Amino acid sequence: MPKRIPILHLILAVLVLVSVVPLYFYADKVVATNRERLKTNEQLSQNTVTRSMSDQIDLRQKARRAMLDNFSSAVQIASGGNITGDHVAAPELRALLERFVSSSTDIAYATLLNEGAKGISAGRMVPDVFIQRDLERAFTAARDGRDYTGQPLTVGSGKDARTVVLVSAPLMADTRFIGMIGAVVDLEFIVKRLREAHQGRLVAAADPSYATGQDMTKFEIVKNFAEQGVKVQLAQTSEFDVKDGKESVPMLGTYSPVQTLGWAVVAQKKQKDAYQGVFEMERSARLWAFFAVLMSIVVSVLAARSITRPLDILTESSQAIAKGDFSKRVQLKSRTEFGELADTFNSMSSDLERFVQDLKRAAEENRELFMGSIQMLAGAVDEKDPYTRGHSDRVTKYSVLLAKELGLEPHEVEKIQISAQLHDVGKIGIEDRILKKPGALTPDEFEIMKTHTTKGATILRPVTMLKDMIPGIELHHESLDGRGYPYGLKGDQIPLVARIITVADTFDAMTTNRPYQAAMDPEYVVRIINSLANTKFDPKVVSALTAVFERGDLKIRRAAAVQPEAVPAGAAAGGAAPQPVSVAKS
């Protein structure tokens, strides 16, 4: 017996059993390729047919325009450029007009008008009121020096009905308007062309059910052309749906623009007819694919069970490690590569467990170094101000107690701890003559002292790791009633971290000796702070202070009690001096 069975053999066996699956996908790909080719061929066919017909119409229109230009030149030569009054009815001009009409079977009627709208006409039809109106519009366009092509109109009735269109051109002598040539063109050649080659396609007037001039924009392909207008240069083919009662019928349609007329040749066909060969091929392929897939699933399930059990064990162990349990080991005995993988996995788990422990120790050392650096910075600030030595450490301790009492998350407590430790870091930027002044500050000096909040924020703002701590440093002297500084924020405009540090800072300022006041009894300070809840301090934070104090968590050296009447007027606000003309440091 071999020491292990190569998993490759098992995989090869499974692949042999389920080889029908790749065959299915191969067949599906072939079907898809053929389907796209058949669709493309049908679309190209439709595109070619419509483009051919639009080119034919375009050429005819250009030929008619050329005939009008030639006739215009002949009229000017024969009349000498004078068709005013009775000159327009000269025999030679009438002969020219009759030859012009007889030169093409498409021209059913033609007229030559002078600048007074008087003239002669020839042809095999008599203009009705609709053509007369179109002639008036054409004459107006000719006066402006423009060619004119009218809308398709129906003349006659029953079997004699014809679709016609008016085309005209101005007669000019140099740059002077002298008259107009108009021709009514019979579009029967278009209808015959459609009936010969394009039965079943959507066309205006090719099917008796569609009347000339009927609004066809309910069809998506016609709507697309109408929306594009004169910008359309090339034939376009697309798939779309047409409403047939309550049902939608998938269609394949193409339009090819006739540039000289602003028209388009439009064809559409039901997709079930256009793609009939595609659909039959797909149905057969799906039927055989269903049986192939069913067989492959049965075989695959039976074969996979011999492989999935060790994989389940490895997966369970991997999930345990992903959740942080690096002590998990794989208990798997197998002579396949799974057994070797289990041994390697267990070895890797041991290495990971050791590396994670090392990383945790390194992270803790980095955190201690970071906190130590912050404490050193805060200590340097406290050392600079001899009257507040140890102030930052005490405010930090009180702030952390208040944050925990408020039930904040550990990461929020840590933010408050760092913010409180650095809340006075801005005093580094305050002049020593103000910071170390043994007495109360003047109003001007106090204004300078107040800038330590914004200076602190400016110092720490470049440090990305401390961006969440800046509000506690910059706003810890704000007051709920808006009388604080630096911005005079009110209520909820002040972040919770700043409201916590405000209470802790005030408590420490009032319970320690300052040059302008003696340390007050902590119980008295708590009463003072409670009296300022809802005005200066957040009532929730004040309640937390009261709770931790009454529990005995706030352990400070009790100073000699100070009587209420001896308390300076500004002491409760963080250390204001009793003199009305000077201000204390905080």
Instruction: Give a yes or no: residue 314 inside a domain.
Output: no
The answer to whether 57 and 190 have CB atoms below 8 angstroms apart is yes
Instruction: Give a yes or no: residue 450 inside a domain.
Output: yes
Instruction: Give a yes or no: residue 308 inside a domain.
Output: no
Q: Say how far apart CA 280 and CA 553 lie, in whole Å.
A: 85
Minimal CA–CA distance to 74: which of 36, 38, 103, 43?
Answer: 103
Calculate mean pLDDT across residues 177-198.
Answer: 77
Instruction: Give a yes or no: residue 298 inside a domain.
Output: no
- Regarding whether 532 and 407 lie in a shared domain, the answer is yes
pLDDT at 486: 94
Of all residues in the chain, the percent with pLDDT exceeding 90 is 22
Of the three residues 126, 153, 184, the one that is the final residue of a domain is 184
- Regarding whether 548 and 436 lie in a shared domain, the answer is yes
Helical (H) or strand (E) element with 178 = strand 176-186
Q: Say how far apart CA 570 and CA 578 lie, in whole Å.
A: 6
- Regarding whether 140 and 114 lie in a shared domain, the answer is yes
Rounded to 5 degrees, φ, ψ at 40 are: -60, -40
Summarize pLDDT for 448-458 with one digit per residue, the tens. 989 999 988 89
- Regarding whether 563 and 469 lie in a shared domain, the answer is yes
Instruction: Give a yes or no: residue 506 inside a domain.
Output: yes
- Regarding whether 227 and 107 lie in a shared domain, the answer is no
Instruction: Give a yes or no: residue 178 inside a domain.
Output: yes
The answer to whether 141 and 161 have CB atoms below 8 angstroms apart is no
Rounded to 5 degrees, φ, ψ at 261 are: -110, -15
Calculate mean pLDDT across residues 111-140.
Answer: 90
> Which residues have C-beta within 8 Å of that of residue 401, sequence separation ≥ 6?
548, 553, 554
Polymer length of the chain: 586
Instruction: Give a yes or no: residue 412 inside a domain.
Output: yes
Say which CATH number the domain at 117 has: 3.30.450.20
Spell 522-541 as b/e; 16+ CB within 10 A means b: bebbbebbeebbeebbbebb
Of the three residues 247, 276, 305, the one that is the final residue of a domain is 276
Instruction: Tell me if the bond preceding 486 is cis, omega within 30° of 0.
Output: yes
The answer to whether 38 and 275 have CB atoms below 8 angstroms apart is yes
Query: Is the Cα dihedral 212, 213, 214, 219 positive or negative?
Result: positive
Spell 254-282 as b/e; 16+ CB within 10 A means b: bbbbbbbbebbbbbbbebeebbeebeebb
The answer to whether 419 and 473 have CB atoms below 8 angstroms apart is yes
What is the total count of domains within the chain?
3
- Regarding whether 218 and 78 lie in a shared domain, the answer is no
Summarize pLDDT for 251-309 with one digit per residue, the tens. 777 777 766 666 777 777 777 777 776 777 777 777 776 777 667 666 666 666 666 66
- Regarding whether 230 and 90 lie in a shared domain, the answer is no
pLDDT at 216: 63
For residue 366, the one-letter residue type is N
- Regarding whether 225 and 115 lie in a shared domain, the answer is no
Pairing of strands 236-244, 247-258: antiparallel
Q: Is 278 left (phi over 0), alpha (psi -120 to 50) or beta?
A: alpha
pLDDT at 320: 76
Q: Which of 263-272, 414-423, 463-472, 525-534 is most confident?
A: 525-534
Calculate mean pLDDT across residues 109-127.
Answer: 90
pLDDT at 501: 94
Say which CATH number the domain at 468 has: 1.10.3210.10
Q: Say how far apart CA 96 and CA 177 lie, in whole Å.
A: 20
- Regarding whether 434 and 411 lie in a shared domain, the answer is yes
Of the three residues 276, 308, 328, the one that is the final residue of a domain is 276
- Regarding whether 206 and 169 lie in a shared domain, the answer is no
Instruction: Give a yes or no: residue 40 inside a domain.
Output: no
Q: What is the pTM of this model?
A: 0.42
Q: Provide the token pair at 432.
A: 């020593």
Domain of residue 502: give its range. Answer: 385-573
- Regarding whether 178 and 241 lie in a shared domain, the answer is no
- Regarding whether 440 and 405 lie in a shared domain, the answer is yes
